[in-house]
Amino acid sequence: MTADLFDTPERRDLRATVRKFTEREIVPHLDDWERAGELPRDLHRAAAKVGLLGIGFAEEVGGSGGGLLDSVVVTEEIIQAGGSSGLIAGLFTHGIALPHIVDAGDPDLIDRFVRPTLDGELIGALAITEPDGGSDVAALRTTAVRDGDDFIVNGTKTFITSGARADFVTTAVRTGGPGYEGISLLVIDRGIDVVRRLEKMGWHCSDTAELSFVDIRVPAKNLVGPENGGFALVMRQFQVERITMAVEAYATAQRCLDLTLAYVRSRETFGKPLVKRQLVTHKLVEMAQRIDLARSYTREVAAMIADGRECVAQVCFAKNAAVAACDHVVDEAVQLHGGFGYLRDAEVERHYRDSRILGIGGGTNEVMAELAARRLGFTA
Ligand SMILES: Cc1cc2nc3c(=O)[nH]c(=O)nc-3n(C[C@H](O)[C@H](O)[C@H](O)COP(=O)(O)OP(=O)(O)OC[C@H]3O[C@@H](n4cnc5c(N)ncnc54)[C@H](O)[C@@H]3O)c2cc1C
């Protein structure tokens, strides 16, 4: 069974390490970082020191080894130990900024960007979305025009996670003609103008920025993979980003169920604990059922990706199903906490706000449905 894959002795040890790190290094500070609007660099160094930043990256590129299923364990455990999806977005942004560079395999780019990031010394971001649109990646407008040994880059990127702190940005640019065939990936590590930090509904500890590039000179050796071959790299990595967001969704839901169960056991109304009401327990069962279905299916699809199997439509199903489960559970969690659930002091309140992005980022619910329809041949 797929569940057994997540319960090997090695993954139980990994889970224990992650839990200890989260309880010691994250939970006591999370509220401060939420107020500060960003994570401290020291946290990246501390996470690197215990090997967490490098999980899912091969030792040959400076990682700690392990694969996607180990990353799933890390994501699940951080959230279930009291972290959050926003924390994961900010601390593990390298999970979306580096894989293309590793995939392309240029030793110079790996030495300059991958190793120092996995060591916690650099912070990277991934910039695809532009003010004119995010879903239609093939329509992006930021240009990179060849000039001798450099590219001259002009354009604006928005909603960029860790964009305000980033030392480098893996950026999708147009080097060729219109459409997906003219897109390349370029690592930009200077001249990044943070136009503004964006204030958000949730994910407060994860800084998000609008970035502008005006006549920035970027060495052509910073090209990731072949010129005009960026779209395929982006799409391949989207699979992992999307399944990770599905994991964040069911893990957040599980955490909210755990918090709610504790609350309804201790909260008394009309002379007995809330948990003694059938209406309440049936709500809890509905929450548990949706989480279990989302977790089982998402883990199954993560195993398919790890095995290199074709599963584009299944990733779409997993993301949308896990997000739907999470949306339901966080809403019920706030409801069952009553007035306290609406207060900043309640952890479920943060998860309620944080999780709203999961059906938007990395491909919206609608874009997932559209992609699945095409994969299944429904649009022919
Ligand atoms: C907190 C946060 C962090 C982010 N981090 C990053 C990051 O690090 N890097 C990055 O590049 N981007 C990032 N994004 C951007 C995110 O990926 C985009 O917001 C997302 O892809 C949607 O793009 P959009 O906002 O331009 O919406 P649009 O593409 O304008 O879509 C608007 C609405 O129209 C719907 N829609 C669009 N096309 C269709 C269609 N064909 N059929 C039906 N409905 C459609 C969408 O589903 C959506 O509901 C982040 C966003 C946020 C809010």
CA pair distance 371, 361, nearest whole angstrom: 15
CA pair distance 305, 111, nearest whole angstrom: 27
Question: What's the pLDDT at 380?
Answer: 79
Q: State the pTM of this model.
A: 0.97
Q: Using the structure block, give the residue that is written with the tokens 């894959």.
A: 5
Q: Is the CB of 126 under 6 A from ligand 1?
A: yes
Q: Using the structure block, give the residue that is written with the tokens 């329809």.
A: 373
Question: What's the pLDDT at 272?
Answer: 98
Q: Which of 85, 129, 244 to mutate to test the pocket of ligand 1 (most atoms within 8 A of CB)?
A: 129
CA pair distance 240, 136, nearest whole angstrom: 19
- Dihedral pair phi/psi, residue 298, rounded to 5°: -65, -45
Active site residue 34: no
> What DSSP designation does 228 have?
T
Say if CB 186 and CB 223 are below 8 A apart.
yes
- Dihedral pair phi/psi, residue 276, rounded to 5°: -80, -5
- Fill in the amino acid letter for 178: P
CA pair distance 61, 187, nearest whole angstrom: 17
Question: What's the pLDDT at 142?
Answer: 98
Say if CB 224 and CB 188 are below 8 A apart.
no
Q: Is the CB of 160 under 6 A from ligand 1?
A: yes
Say if CB 265 and CB 275 are below 8 A apart.
yes
CA pair distance 230, 227, nearest whole angstrom: 7
Give residue 69 CA to ligand 1 midpoint distance, Å: 26
Say if CB 91 and CB 99 are below 8 A apart.
no
Instruction: Write the DSSP string, 297-365.
Output: HHHHHHHHHHTT---HHHHHHHHHHHHHHHHHHHHHHHHHTGGGGGSTTSHHHHHHHHGGGGGTTTS-H
Question: What's the pLDDT at 46?
Answer: 98
Q: Which of 254, 273, 173, 285 lies closest to 220, judged by CA?
A: 173
208-219 and 193-197 strand pairing: antiparallel
Give average pLDDT by consecutive 10-residue segment, the chain, 380 residues.
91 98 98 98 98 97 97 98 98 98 97 98 98 92 97 97 98 97 96 94 98 96 97 94 98 98 98 98 98 98 96 98 98 98 97 98 97 94
Residues written for the chain: 380
Q: Is the CB of 137 under 6 A from ligand 1?
A: no
Q: Which of 84, 85, 135 to mutate to test the pocket of ligand 1 (most atoms within 8 A of CB)?
A: 135
Q: Is the CB of 33 under 6 A from ligand 1?
A: no
Give residue 256 CA to ligand 1 midpoint distance, Å: 26
Question: What's the pLDDT at 139?
Answer: 95
Q: Which of 123, 130, 358, 367 to mutate to test the pocket of ligand 1 (most atoms within 8 A of CB)?
A: 367
CA pair distance 256, 296, nearest whole angstrom: 18
Report the 3 state secondary structure along 51-62: CCCCECECHHHC
Q: Which of 77, 241, 248, 332 is catalytic?
A: 241
Question: What's the pLDDT at 309?
Answer: 96
Q: Which of 170, 179, 187, 88 lies closest to 129, judged by CA?
A: 170
